[in-house]
Structures are given as C-alpha cells and as structure tokens.
Amino acid sequence: MNETTNSLLLGVDVGTSGSKGILTDLRGKILSSHSVEYNAIYPGPNRAEQDPMQWWTGFGKITRALLRKSRINTDDIVAVSVSGTYSDMCAVDRHGKTVRNAILYSDMRATEETNLVAAKVGKDRIREISGRNLNPTMVLPRILWYKKNEPQNFQRTHKILQSHGYIIRQLTNEYSVDYPTACPYATFDMNALEWCKDICDEFSLPIDLFPPAFRATDVVGEVTTDAAKFTHIRKGTPVIAGSGDDLLAMVGAGVTNPGDAIVTYGTSCVLNAVCEKRENVPEFDSGIHCVEPRMYIVGNELNTSGSVLRWFKDEFAQRESEVEAASGKSAYARLDRAAANIALGSDGLVVLPYFLGRYTGSDPRARGVVFGLTLSHTKNHVYRALLESTGYEIAEWLETLRQINTMPNRPSRFVATGGGARSRLWMQIVSDITNVSQQLIQGDAPYGNAYLAGYSVGVFKNFETLSDEWLQDGEIIVPSAREHASYQRYRQIYKRLYADLKEVFQES
C-alpha cells in the first residue's frame, strides 16, 4: 500500500483483567495509549469465566480514548490488529451475539471430557495435530462439556471463537481464528493447517462450528458502518487476524528469531522460545509463531501467577489497598518493599502456585500449597514466597528446555515483559533462582499488534525494522551467583513437594 508520513497503526490487546491499546506512527513512536480494567468470574472451584461484552465495551472505550487523546485524523489509521487470551470458549449465535459467558483459558472443569477425548481419539493424536498434551484447558473438552451440560445453549451456538476473534467479528462481521490460536482447539491440524473432520465426526460436532483459519498476518475484513460508529475507527479500515496475547507480546519485545525466549509476567506466567522447526518436548507445548516467514515456538505456562498476587492483595493486604485507593500509590509496590526485607527463601516458606491446577503435566487436580508455616512468619513472608514460586517453576522449565538438541545453550536472549516485569524485586528473584539474565523490554502485546498491523498491509517488509528501529535496549537484570547457590536448597524442596503430593491431589 502507499503509506504516508501520517500513516498510523492501531494495536489492542484483550486480557483477563483488562485491555490496552495504542496508536503508533511508522517509526514506533506511541502517540497515545489507553487501558481499561474489568474482572473475571470464578463461579466455582477450577472455573473461570468472563462476559465477552466486557471485551467489546472495553475495546470501544479504548479506541475512542486513543482518538480523543491523539486528535489524529482517523483516515491516517492504515490497519488494526487485535490480540487476546486464547484457548477460551466464546460461543456466539448466528448474529454474532454471545450465548453464555466465555469459558477462559485457565478453566479446568472439563476433566471428564478430557478423558473421553483421550479414550476416543488418543493423546498421541492430539499431541501430533495440536503440538500440545491433551488437557482440560483445550477447547474441544470444553465444547463437549458445554454440549452435555448446556444442550439448549449449544444448539443456539454458531461458532466458537477466541477473545480477539470475538472483537474481529464485532468489527468486521467476519469470523476468524489465526493458525497459532487454532492449535489449542484440539480439532485443528497444525501440520495441514485445517480442521480435522474425523475428530469432529467422532463427537458429532459440525465442522462449521469452527471459524475459518488464517495466518496471523492476513487481512480478514474491514471495519463496518456500525463498528465505526461505536469505535470511531474509520469505516473500511483493514483488520487483520491477529493472534494470542503472549505471541504478540513476543513480537512487541522483538522475540522473533530462533534462540530468543520470553517470559510474560501477566495474570498467567508464560515462557515461549522461538525455534526454526517444530520441537517435541515432553510436558511442553509447541506451536506456530505469528510472524512470517513461519517460525515455531515451544513453551509452558503457569496459569496462576499475577492472579495469585492479586488474590493475595485483595484478601490479605487491605491496608495496602486502602492506601492505593486514597493516594494512587501501588499496593504491589508497598508489598514489594516489605518483601525485600525478608530473607532469601522466605525463612523456609515454599509455595506451590497451582491455585487453578498444574498446566505442566496436565494435572488439573493440583492445588496451591504454602509449606513450612510457623508462628514467626508474616504476610510479607508469604508474599515473597509467592514471588519465589514463579522463579522455581521457570527454573524447571529452563532445565527441560535446555535438553532440546537444537537448544543446548539456549535461550541465547531472554526477555521479560508484562505487567509483573515492573517489579524489580520479582525480576531479581527470578533471575537469581534461574541464574539467567533478563532483559526488560518496553514493547508489549499492543506494541506487537501495531507492528503486525503494519507488516500485514505492506508497510514493513520484514521484522528487522522492529528490532533495528522500534525497540530500544532495556535494563538487564543480572543474577547473583551467591543468591543462586543459596536458592538451590529451596528449589529442591519445591521439586519434592509436588512429587510427594501428586497422589494426594488425585484423592482430594
């Protein structure tokens, strides 16, 4: 396309606790940004839901605010990209209206249905087509739960979408899913890049239940008249397929080359490393990256990371929350300062952070554990132990990752991003436990969306401009050799705790 010096790019990321959007120029300068907050719903143990209208209402608030703040001509926006949470189950009817709350990626209710898929299709087949170990967070078991438990709602359902796919439908009237976020459906073949009719037939699911699949960089539609009125984005603006939030965070941080790795510290903690070809690592997911030419990723996830810190703040840090409400000073910053005064290892406290089950190894019955409590411990000890638990989990992931033949000395570049990366204490703890330096990059998922939008409409020819011109080198958190050595005792306790409690979790 013929871009001008006034050409602008719009990127929005739809998250669990809120959404954020930005407007950038072609040099990566952010002209305006805006975010909104909302809440997930936890209707019972192992259950997590969200009203998709929050996503759309929040999207409209963001775009209107971006345009108001920047005072730009909407004709200058050349493309829109949206990312979001994925492995969700967002059911919509023939008019694109939601039938029920979306079942979120962290929900673990579909345990029986997961076993049914294993019996009828086989874990190996699911792993081969999806790149993932079969588990209750995949979309297929959720659909089977839905069909069994809410048959009337299921009959009304026309398509099963992801969060960003829902926004794209609202913007364009087009249904879509990108290749990377189609993989967790467990009905999409990542090798053939098509839906598996035989699996759909096995469970009497119409293949049309699943939306058309695209590359993340494909333009899938244009902003409609109604969407333009709601968002104030110009009618006819191209909208691309986009992808998952963690994948666009990778783009936003320049993690696009083989050997690069990123940890996103958000509601969940996600580790992804870039590979030239698909890698098969036990207990890890593999998938398609959202960049071109096609790359692959291998990674893992801790469902409850930032969400556990928020739970702790809401339930046990009322004073810090009150100060935040009155002064605007972050409650997390106050908790960090107090935790920084607690000794390494939290004076013997070790936490298993599996508050919504254990994604690694597909163990939905795993639970959160606070081990080693005594009367001398305070809430500050518990908070630090929660921060340390993420470091222990990442250390386990890296140990496995380095066993890949093509990555014995990798990751060669390790980037930290997400809201949690603002905590220097948390980042230092993770680096000390893992003995890995982390580079803090300002780029995030909305930033990655802006660049992806530009690439998709021909403004950028490759992803080198992103690293060479858009991104600036951030602070590097360097591990302490002494602290790393001291942490090994507690890391071994962490490993033993899950191994010793695994059978108990199955009985609970």
Q: For residue 257, which of 293, 218, 217, 215 has the smallest C-alpha distance?
A: 293
d(CA 127, CA 266): 26
Q: Coil, strand or helix: which one is 419?
A: helix
Q: DSSP 3-state assignment of 446?
A: helix
Q: Give the residues of the chain that fall short of pLDDT 70.
A: 1-5, 360-362, 405-410
pLDDT for 3: 54
User: Contact at 8 Å (CB) between 372 and 348?
Assistant: yes
Reduced to 3 states, what is the DSSP secondary structure of residue 351? strand
Q: How far apart are the first and last CA of the chain?
A: 59
Distance, in Å, from the CA atom of 230 to the CA atom of 388, rounded to the nearest integer, reads: 44
Distance between CA 345 and CA 494 in Å, rounded? 11
**Rounded CA gap, 429 and 390, in Å?**
9
- Predicted local distance difference test score (pLDDT) of residue 64: 97
The length of the chain in residues reads 508
CB 264 within 8 A of CB 270: yes
Q: Single out the residue of 221, 415, 442, 419 nearest to residue 332, CA to CA.
A: 419
Rg of the chain's alpha carbons, rounded to an integer?
A: 22
In angstroms, the CA 451 to CA 468 distance is 13
Parallel, antiparallel, or unpaired: how do β-strands 413-417 and 30-37 relate? unpaired
Determine contact, residues 264/324, Cβ cutoff 8 Å: no
How deeply is 31 buried, as exposed, middle or buried, from its count of CB atoms within 10 A (0-12, 13-18, 19+)?
Answer: middle
Residue-level pLDDT at 407:
57
Residues 6+ positions from 234 with CB-CB distance below 8 Å? 74, 75, 77, 223, 228
Instruction: Give the Å distances, CA to CA, from 359 to 129, 187, 456.
Output: 19, 20, 33
* Superfamily of domain covering 252-302+409-481: ATPase, nucleotide binding domain (3.30.420.40)
CB 14 within 8 A of CB 22: no
What torsion, rounded to 10 degrees, do the Cα atoms 217, 306, 34, 176 define? Answer: 30
How far is it, in rounded angstroms, from Cα 489 to Cα 372? Answer: 14
| Residue ranges matching CATH 3.30.420.40 in the chain | 8-245, 252-302+409-481, 306-397+489-507
Q: Residue 23 contacts by C-beta under 8 Å, 6 or more apart in sequence?
A: 8, 9, 10, 30, 31, 32, 33, 66, 67, 70, 72, 77, 450
User: Which of 393, 305, 424 shows the shortest CA–CA distance to 17?
Assistant: 305
CATH 3.30.420.40 given to domain 306-397+489-507: yes
pTM, whole model, 2 decimals? 0.84
Summarised one tens digit per residue, pLDDT across range 36-68 is 999 999 999 889 999 999 999 999 999 999 999
- pLDDT attached to residue 264: 87
Q: Which amino acid is at 41?
A: I
Per-residue confidence (pLDDT) for residue 248, from 0 to 100: 95
The CA distance from 253 to 244, in Å, is 14
Q: Please give the single-letter amino acid code of residue 227.
A: A
Domain at 8-245: CATH code: 3.30.420.40
pLDDT of residue 406: 58
Q: Which residues 6+ apart lie within 8 Å of 503 measured at CB?
A: none
